[in-house]
Amino acid sequence: MKKKNLLFGDHGIDDSLAIIYSLMNPDLELVGIVTKEQTTANAYYNSKFVDEYYKVMLRR
């Protein structure tokens, strides 16, 4: 059974790596990302980056 994972953070590069790890780890299920209002735009940008990175990694 996968462990559910809810990320809280400011979503800089370290949090982006945590998102990548959560998405790539078969034992984890990323159920959500929580940000403060001022970091939402940053989280959105980084999430788009992570989504593209994840798609590239799945092709390998």
In tens, the pLDDT along 1-59 reads: 899 999 887 767 788 788 888 888 999 999 988 877 667 777 777 778 878 887 777 77
The domain of 47 spans 3-59
Structural contact between residues 50 and 16, judged by C-beta atoms closer than 8 angstroms? yes
Largest distance between two CA atoms of the chain: 36
This prediction has a pTM of 0.58
Domains held by the chain: number: 1
Residue 58's H or E segment, with its range, is helix 40-59
